[in-house]
Every structure is written in structure tokens, then in C-alpha cells.
Amino acid sequence: MNILLTHGWLRGNLGDFCISRQCIRGLRSAIPNLKIALITEPCEDWEGKREIASLVDSMAEEPYQTDRSHLFRQVDAVINAPGGGLQNRGDHRGPFMLRDAQICGALGIPHFFASHSFHPAFDVSSVERSLFIAREPESFSWLRQCGCNAVSAADLAFLEPMPEISQADRAAREKVLLFLRFDHFKEIRLEKRMLHLDGRTVELPDLPLVLASSDPRRDSPRLEELSRAWQIGYEPSIKLEHLLQSIARSAYVVSDRYHPIIFAHMLGVPFTFLERKGSLRDRGPVRCVTGSCHKLLIVGVSAGMMRVLC
């Protein structure tokens, strides 16, 4: 079987890397003798990109606006890789993702969206033939109301194996990690143990503070500036293993990036999630890690995949 995996995002965000890797591994384990071709957004070379390339049979870099219709007839199914593009109103990537689904529907080629959040601003009425893997409950409910073929699941990062943490490491947890996106808060101030973020105040534990990032390519300019101003350390992670170890050895995590929160939850590290207002994607992990997500139907990804392909 030949599968085309489209709209990959491998620009250095370790969350995107993690869910892309889990998606490919899940496909490999679910479907024997599978060949995977990946089309990803052009990006600089880095270790994560090279690892993903090693997991697929071929990889091409093309802008997300590129028309891939000539490739669809050459494969048995088209899968939209997990990640962004449909979760926020006005995202320029969304219409091109939907266009791919429309073309596949017209050609009779199986198509599905692998672990996404779906904003109601996008019109999905023309892609009802696709299978939608919804990574949080609100998207799933909305898709079902629209008559779409939807499966309820969760973010694929929940599948990532966590490192073993020794008792000595647990006892030595003595730092607070601060993950702050480059584009979220306009005003960021630190006054003693109080972190002020656009009018929101977070009281921090009385432990050493360390700025951190799972997307240093975009976050570093601002976080390096804050590190100098606040005279605290900065730990950018360019490898997922380093990110997981850093979180595992921390006493507390404060983050407006949701993958560090998922990892903190799985590692048993207390956290404060700085959820963005109106974000479906951010509300999903909150419900899962607080137990209000009725199930983590991770197997729904593979089950739904087999339903649409077989």
C-alpha cells in the first residue's frame, strides 16, 4: 500500500516533530508492507527533520499552497499530517488542506485528517467523504453535527514514551520551567515570584526559575532577551529527548505551549497551563490531563485509518 502524507510541519517545533513521528510509527505498525511519501513545508536542516526523513520512503519539501492533485492518483490514500492549519480562524493553510480533501473526494481516493482541531469558521461541508480524527471533544462534537465521519481521539503526543525517572532525580527536582511562546503575550513582567502576562498574574513556586522552549527557532530571540533582563537561565531544547529530561527533572512547569504540559502531566510534574483564550487546541489537552476527556481513544487513530483504507 502507498500512502501520501501531506502538510508536514518540521520547522523545529518539537511538538510537531513528536506527533509526526507518532503518526508515521502508528501507520507502520497498523499496515503491513506500507510505503509512505511525505510532503512537508520547506525548512532548515535539523536533526528532527532528518529522523522523520529516515522513517518514510521519500520526502519532498513544497510550500503548503502547492497543488498535489497530480500525485494523488499514484497512491492508495492521502493523509493530512497531524498539526496546525485548521484550528484557528483565518489560518491561511486551512483552505489548501480542505482543497486536498475535496480533490481526493472527487477522485474517489481515501483521505483523512490525522489528529487535528477544527475551527467552525472552516466550511467542511464539501469534504464530508474524509475521515476526521479529532484530537479534542469540541471538534469531534462539531464535526458530528456537520454530518462528518469523525473519530474522537487525543493529541498523538500522549503516545510518546516517557523516560524512566529515578528516585534520586525525583528528589532533586528544584527548578521551575517557564515556556513562553514568541507570539502569545505582549507584556511579560516578573516581580519577585509573580509573573505578569497581559493582565494575568501567576504566582510561581519559590524555586530557581529557568526559561525553556520546545521551539527555539522562533522563541529564542524573545526568551534570550528575558533571560538577560531577569538574570535567569534559558534552556532551549532542540531534541525531544532533552525536552523530556528537562521537564522530568523540574519541580514545576508553567507553559503556554501545550505539548510541554502533556509531557509534564505524563511525567507527574505539577504545572500551570496558560491556555489561550478561544483556542480549541489548548482546551483539548486541559480536558485530557484533568480527566474530563471521557477517553484517550488513541487506538481510534489506527482503527479509523483501517476503516477508511480497507
Question: Per-residue pLDDT for 23 more than 50?
Answer: yes
Give the tens place of pLDDT for each residue, 205-223.
999 999 999 999 999 999 9
Rounded CA-CA distance 237/281 in Å is 22
Within this chain, do residues 194 and 248 fall inside the same structural domain, yes or no?
A: yes
Within this chain, do residues 23 and 70 fall inside the same structural domain, yes or no?
A: yes
Within this chain, do residues 186 and 281 fall inside the same structural domain, yes or no?
A: yes
CATH number for the domain including 266? 3.40.50
Mapped onto helix, strand or coil, the DSSP state of residue 196 is strand
How many domains is the chain partitioned into structurally? 2
Confidence of residue 308 (pLDDT cuts 50, 70, 90): very low
Going by their DSSP bridges, the two strands 194-197 and 188-191 should be labelled as: antiparallel
Percentage above 90 pLDDT, the chain: 72
Within this chain, do residues 284 and 302 fall inside the same structural domain, yes or no?
A: no
pLDDT of residue 271: 95
Give the tens place of pLDDT for each residue, 265-306.
999 999 999 988 767 666 666 666 655 443 444 444 444 444
Mapped onto helix, strand or coil, the DSSP state of residue 82 is coil
Is the distance from CB of 155 to CB of 19 less than 8 angstroms? yes
Q: Range of 22's domain?
A: 2-154+294-309
Rounded CA-CA distance 13/217 in Å is 8
Question: What single string gives the DSSP state of each residue in 130-142?
Answer: SEEEESSHHHHHH
In a domain, 248, yes or no: yes
Give the tens place of pLDDT for each residue, 117-142.
899 999 999 998 899 988 888 889 99
Q: Which residues make beta-bridge pairs with 202? A: 195
